[in-house]
Amino acid sequence: MLKNYFKIAFRNLFKNKVYSSVNIIGLAVGLATCIVILLYVTHELSYDKHHSNSDRIYRVTSHIDFGGNFIELASTSAPMGPTLKELYPEVEAMTRFRPRGSYLIKKEGKNYRESGFVFADSSVFDVFTIPFLYGKPDHALTQPQTVAISEEMARKYFGRADVVGETLTIQDDFDMEITGVYETMPNTSHFHFNFLISMATIDEANNNVWLSNNFRTYLLLSENTAPEAFEQNFEYIKKTYIEPQLLQFMGITMKEFEEAGNRADYRLQALEDIHLHSSLTGEFKANGSITYVYIFSGLAVFILLLACINFMNLSTARSAKRAKEVGVRKSLGSDRSTLAGQFLMESLLLSFLALIVALFFVELTLPYFSDIAGRTISSQYFTNLPLSLGMLGIVIITGLLAGAYPAAMLSSFQPVKVLKDTHLERKGHGLFRKGLVVFQFSISIVIIAGLLVINDQLQFIQNRNIGFEKDRVVIVEDAYAIGSSNGVDSFRDDVLKNSFIKSATISSFFPVDGYSLNDLAYWPEGKSPTQNNTVSMQTWEVDENYIPTLKMEIVEGRNFSENRAMDKQAVILNETAVQRLDLQDPVGKSISTFAMNHEDGSIDQSKTLSYEIVGVVRDFNFESLRENVSPLGLFNQRSSGNVAFRFADANISEVLAVLEAEWTARAPEQPFNYAFLDQQFDRMYRAENRVQNLMSTFSVLAILIACLGLFGLSAFSAEKRAKEIGIRKVLGADIASILRLMSKEFMALILVSFMISIPIAYLVMQQWLQQFTYRTDLGMSVFLLSGLITLGIAIATVSWQSVKAALTNPVNSLRNE
């Protein structure tokens, strides 16, 4: 029986090459899309699960609402972790990270810039699973000025992995002993460190300041410890350790602090939730989003459904060709179950052939998908058993689902009617097929509308007035590598001698990527700091050329001046800072803050610093447009971190050539690193750009598959109405009238799809836009355009079949009448 099924299935496959090919390709595209998205979802859900105790590791996060400024941090104070470990036996192990960005590594007289530096407690290897290749994890980071490095860095700088005992020179003269080499961290980790420097190296790790949050703190809790129950301990921490410092610095209790509308909460965040459920300030890198996992999973299901619907429509469109075959088989004794089995076997055969083609498509497109998704995704068909079983299950379910309706319909034909060529299609069947097409195009319109809204939002972001001009600004990084401040000044001055360089500024702080989390508390001078008048504010060190170079706008007062010595104790506030400090006529007034001990980051409460407000700058977006503008103070202090140059409409390669030449003349052994401000700004919305690219791809696939379905239904309609079209042609109908006749029905289906899909698309995209503080208006034009695009593609698809039917010789359809 099975042999006969296969024989007939293959014979029909080769007999109807065009329709079989369309069926296989349609299913293959749907399966390939589903498999690729399944690989993506599997990759996203696997983050941080390579740690042996990943289900018991938690990050301590801070949620501070102070002076009207709410911030959620991935970090805590330095003493938080050690205190929790000391007080609570439920904490099996604790470790902290203190990120430090990039450093220069000196090797054989040359300097190389590397990122991925972090200070870490020696217990890092007790909490996380970081396989060691050389050295002993228990002793690797116990002493000051020791470092453990990744295998990748060991081979890069020493040509081998066994480098324990070697010396690594950082920042020209800071020698670190290598005490361990570990495997390069997998790409499914929410952090990637190439250099783990012992926490004992920095004094800051031992300070007792609870009001500063610079450390990432992780806890390994004991078995059966509920994180919700453990979080109750933070109330004791606040009362015992944080409240005394509130009293010391602000003269208020924790109760008074909270009664004034302020909050300081600490929570535990599961390690496995960080990648997809966290976007806190101070993340090691931009995380993924569970929302996009849901969206793409839904798209995978919908596109696979579209492919199944196509199979149904194309199979039923060919039913007339096989109706007599069914009649003959039934006349010879075949029962309905045998015929249904035959058609299901053909469907399963097509599904497995489609799987083979789909795997080819996956291998062909996976590098492209990985690139636009920003992930390193690999095919794991044979090494990942659940994935392989899942794919096999999808193929079988797809084959059965796609073949069930055609099998039920074809096997129900009555032999007398079909042999007389008078079989009539049941009314419900036609409505069902039309409903499938409406479903297909509703999904397509939703996807296209979503793509257009995402594109509009990205255009809005790129074109919005963000308070400074980001175009034609190049930032030369690590200017301190030149040496003295005079060397940096001469570098700036010599570059400015070129006519196409308009201005330059020296600072460590630039919008977007160029600022760091260095909030300090400020209050109006002459008043004691209280919860009502103290504002947590960003502190940036800039020179007098900063505002004109970035083309910011002074709305009150003036800019800094190099001719005014007192400007070294001056500040320019943004509008938000003035509002939060509740200052009327701020120019000429002063603000105060506690002095900082720069060695360990502690606060010196015995000394305050005051700064005169000389100007107010219009608010500019230095964070993502998802966030409101935070309070900011620009201070006229010396900083030699980076140098930014604004250039005219000149050849960029010429600008870079001048910069590199001047750099090399002063620091021939130092790497020349630069970045463009507009590109840094665009990187903030990398996730949205990736989603836009993916949505574009899936829109094309959805439309392609939907058009295949429409092709099937129009083919069926043309076949069913062949005699009618023949009569009309005999009576003088031209191609245009037949085209209108054939298209009218399908245009009505597209209209129904439009009416169904627009409310859904509106609600979904309105919800997506809520994550942006600054967002585009969601007008009807986007949805009308998505409908018109779909309509145009549908007309083109139907016209092909309609013209083909109109050009057919009427004799062929009427010869038996």
Cα angle 221-223-225, degrees, rounded to a multiple of 5? 65
Give the number of other CB atoms < 10 A from CB of residue 1: 9
Q: Which tokens is 170 given?
A: 């950082």
3-state SS assignment for residue 780: helix
Q: At residue 744, what is the residue type?
A: K
Helix axes 336-373, 290-317, angle to 10 degrees: 140
Residue pair 300/33 in contact by the 8 Å Cβ criterion = yes
Rounded to two decimals, the pTM is 0.79
Residue pair 405/312 in contact by the 8 Å Cβ criterion = yes
What is the rounded distance in angstroms from the CA atom of residue 144 to the CA atom of residue 146? 6
The pLDDT value given to residue 201: 93
Nearest to 500, CA basis, from 665, 642, 651 = 651
The pLDDT value given to residue 590: 93
Tokens 């104070």 correspond to: 77
Identify the bridge partners of residue 169 per DSSP, sorted by sequence position.
106, 175
Identify the bridge partners of residue 95 per DSSP, sorted by sequence position.
218
Residue pair 574/104 in contact by the 8 Å Cβ criterion = no
Share of the chain above pLDDT 90, in %: 32
* Distance between start and end Cα atoms, the chain: 39
Nearest to 755, CA basis, from 396, 441, 362, 308 = 441
- Give residues with Cβ within 8 angstroms of 325, minimum separation 6: none
Longest dimension (CA), the chain: 108
3-state SS assignment for residue 613: strand
Q: Which tokens is 437 given?
A: 């097409």
The pLDDT value given to residue 234: 96
Would you put residue 145 in left (φ > 0), alpha (ψ -120 to 50) or beta? left
Q: Which tokens is 70 given?
A: 């709410």
Give the number of other CB atoms < 10 A from CB of residue 244: 13
- The 10s digit of each residue's pLDDT in 272-285 is 999 999 988 888 88
Report the sign of the C-alpha dihedral through residues 332, 336, 341, 347, in that order. positive
Where are the alpha helices (H) located in 420-554, listed in sequence order? 427-463, 485-496, 546-549
Domain residue limits, the chain: 2-43+289-461+687-720+741-806, 56-277, 473-683
Q: At residue 33, what is the residue type?
A: T
What is the rounded distance in angstroms from the CA atom of residue 645 to the CA atom of residue 659? 9
Residue pair 214/75 in contact by the 8 Å Cβ criterion = yes
The pLDDT value given to residue 662: 93
The pLDDT value given to residue 706: 75
- The DSSP secondary-structure symbol of 293 reads H
Where are the alpha helices (H) located in 721-776, listed in sequence order? 722-730, 735-769
Segment (H or E) for 125: helix 124-127
Residue pair 687/768 in contact by the 8 Å Cβ criterion = no
Which range is least confidently modeled, 75-89, 202-216, 477-491? 477-491
Q: At residue 776, what is the residue type?
A: T
Residue 514 above 50 pLDDT?
no
What is the rounded distance in angstroms from the CA atom of residue 88 to the CA atom of residue 221? 10
- The 10s digit of each residue's pLDDT in 767-806 is 888 877 778 888 888 888 888 888 888 888 777 777 777 6
Residue pair 237/266 in contact by the 8 Å Cβ criterion = yes
Residue 698 above 50 pLDDT?
yes
Characterize the bridge pairing of strands 174-182 and 146-150.
parallel
Residue pair 217/73 in contact by the 8 Å Cβ criterion = no
What would the mean pLDDT of 179-185 be, rounded to a whole number?
95
Return the top range by mean pLDDT from 89-98, 341-350, 505-514, 677-686. 89-98
The pLDDT value given to residue 511: 83
477: number of CA atoms within 13 Å, CB side?
A: 19
Residue pair 624/770 in contact by the 8 Å Cβ criterion = no
Which range is least confidently modeled, 10-14, 45-49, 734-738, 784-788? 10-14
- The 10s digit of each residue's pLDDT in 407-450 is 776 666 666 665 555 544 555 556 776 787 788 888 888 888 88
The pLDDT value given to residue 185: 93
What would the mean pLDDT of 132-151 be, rounded to a whole number?
94
- The 10s digit of each residue's pLDDT in 568-585 is 999 999 999 999 888 999
Q: What is the mean pLDDT of the chain?
A: 83
How sure is the predictor about 598, in pLDDT bands with cuts at 50, 70 and 90?
low
Report the sign of the C-alpha dihedral through residues 135, 137, 139, 143, in that order. positive
The pLDDT value given to residue 4: 64
- The 10s digit of each residue's pLDDT in 516-560 is 555 678 888 877 776 677 887 888 899 999 999 999 999 999 999
- Give residues with Cβ within 8 angstroms of 696, minimum separation 6: 451
Report the sign of the C-alpha dihedral through residues 561, 563, 568, 569, in that order. negative
Q: Which tokens is 429 given?
A: 């069947």
Q: Which tokens is 393 given?
A: 């299950």
Torsion angle of alpha carbons 600, 601, 604, 609, nearest 10°? 130
Give the number of other CB atoms < 10 A from CB of residue 310: 31
Characterize the bridge pairing of strands 632-635 and 132-135.
unpaired
Reported residue count of the chain is 817
The pLDDT value given to residue 381: 65
What percent of the chain is helix, strand and coil (3-state, nearest 5)? 50, 20, 30
Torsion angle of alpha carbons 320, 322, 325, 331, nearest 10°? -50
Name the more confident of 729 and 156. Answer: 156
The pLDDT value given to residue 655: 92
| Helices and strands, number each (H, E), in the chain | 26, 22
What would the mean pLDDT of 111-135 be, rounded to a whole number?
92
Identify the bridge partners of residue 174 per DSSP, sorted by sequence position.
170
The pLDDT value given to residue 319: 58
Nearest to 640, CA basis, from 530, 554, 541 = 541
Characterize the bridge pairing of strands 167-170 and 174-182.
antiparallel
Nearest to 540, CA basis, from 600, 468, 599, 486 = 468
Name the more confident of 761 and 10. Answer: 761
